[in-house]
Amino acid sequence: MNLPLLWRPLAACCLVLATSAAAAQALNEPVTLVVGYAAGGSTDRAARVVAEHLGKKLGVAVTVDNRPGDGGRLAAQQLSHTPANQNLLLLANPAVMVVAPIVFNKAAGYDADKDFVPVSQVTSYDFAIAVGPAVPLDRLMFLVSWLWAHPQDTRFGVPATGSLPHFFGLMAGDALSIKPQIVGYKGSAPLLADVVAGKVPIAIDTLDSLYPQHVAGKVRILAVSGTQRASFAKDIPTFREAGMKVDAAGWNAFFAPSSMPPAKVQLLGQAIHDVMQEPAVQQAFNALFLAPVVSTPADTAKMVKAFREQWEPVVRRSGFAP
């Protein structure tokens, strides 16, 4: 149909509104936020904060579905085959959306770029380096000398081999001019137990995992990986403040299966964007020692691209194979 020029903007506006209305109609059914880890972890806790407030925003039930297995890959594999009429979002971290596709290749069981589309980043978190009672230091600048004097103790404990802390540990080793021996654990709890007991001298983990033990005086965090000090840990310097040229951050972001209609992706992305601006939500994330992030689908896609460009060379250079 040929419309006069004057009417074309109005027609375009009506088309956008109709598309949005169709997406909204599709959300008469519940929304499920899938987490590829067991309940209780930081990703799970973040999902539950969003679910509580997103349900109020959309006017539908929003629930969290934990599908642990294979380091988060099982949930990604399952959602990669989601039909277009299902309201499922995956809350994932870089281990699932960046690292696993590199180290597992086709064996990962999904293609992060083809099978998923970014919806909204919701958190950013720092990594940290900490020492236990066996290392009598309180400054990162002294750690290099200590490591050179104790070559048998160049062991960096991480919560899991192939995890982001593993690869950040390699980054930190480069900054410290050493080649650390990475010691993998099955989670943060056993790692911290061994650091406190002096069985492994140094821990590399997320700041939110290490910080409660730092406050309790059981470990000492020497530096954090962010470009600025964490809002809840102003006493801990960044690596750059300590003289080491390294910074990095992890994240949690929602991804939709690529089968989801674009209008619904935009609607959900905008809803999560709005929820993340609410003071109560930001306070809840700060209480979890996670930095809340307000992000659109386009912002999130740009972030993931930049993250992949920074970390892919590190992962490939490590030679890590599962």
pLDDT in tens, 254-283: 999 999 999 999 999 999 999 999 999 999
The rounded distance, in Å, linking the Cα atoms of 180 and 132 is: 17
Architecture of domain 127-224: 3-Layer(aba) Sandwich (3.40)
For residue 309 the two structure tokens come to 């460009």
Residue 30: DSSP 8-state: -
One fold for 28-125+249-318 and 127-224 = yes
The rounded distance, in Å, linking the Cα atoms of 216 and 211 is: 9
CB 172 within 8 A of CB 204: yes
| Mean pLDDT confidence for 50-66 | 96
Domain boundaries, the chain: 28-125+249-318, 127-224
Which pLDDT score is estimated for 226?
92
CB 265 within 8 A of CB 259: no
pTM: 0.82
CB 180 within 8 A of CB 169: yes
User: Mean pLDDT over all residues of the chain?
Assistant: 89
Which pLDDT score is estimated for 10?
52
The rounded distance, in Å, linking the Cα atoms of 116 and 7 is: 37
Question: Strand, coil or helix: what is 54?
Answer: helix
Which pLDDT score is estimated for 282?
95
Other Cβ atoms within 10 Å of 179 Cβ, number: 10
Which pLDDT score is estimated for 37?
87
The rounded distance, in Å, linking the Cα atoms of 9 and 136 is: 69
The rounded distance, in Å, linking the Cα atoms of 253 and 289 is: 16
Question: Strand, coil or helix: what is 119?
Answer: strand
pLDDT tens digit string along 94-110? 999 999 999 998 889 99
* Greater pLDDT, 204 or 19: 204
Among 93, 75, 82, 87, which residue's Cα sits nearest to residue 34?
Answer: 75
- Local confidence band at 15 (pLDDT 50, 70, 90 cut-offs): very low
Please give the helix or strand (H or E) that residue 130 lies within, else none: strand 127-131
pLDDT tens digit string along 172-184? 888 888 889 999 9
Structural class in CATH, domain 28-125+249-318? alpha beta
* Greater pLDDT, 26 or 65: 65
Which pLDDT score is estimated for 275?
97
CB 160 within 8 A of CB 206: no
**Does position 7 have pLDDT exceeding 70, yes or no?**
no
pLDDT tens digit string along 147-171? 888 888 899 999 988 888 999 999 8
For residue 203 the two structure tokens come to 């821990």
Alpha helix (H) residue ranges in 116-261: 143-149, 164-175, 188-196, 207-215
pLDDT tens digit string along 216-233? 999 999 999 999 999 889
Among 42, 37, 41, 45, which residue's Cα sits nearest to residue 75?
Answer: 37
Which pLDDT score is estimated for 2?
52
The rounded distance, in Å, linking the Cα atoms of 246 and 224 is: 10
The rounded distance, in Å, linking the Cα atoms of 288 and 206 is: 12
Q: What angle do CA 191, 197, 203 make, to 5 degrees?
A: 35
pLDDT tens digit string along 295-312? 999 999 999 999 999 899
Which pLDDT score is estimated for 160?
85
CB 187 within 8 A of CB 171: no
The rounded distance, in Å, linking the Cα atoms of 216 and 130 is: 13
CB 275 within 8 A of CB 281: yes
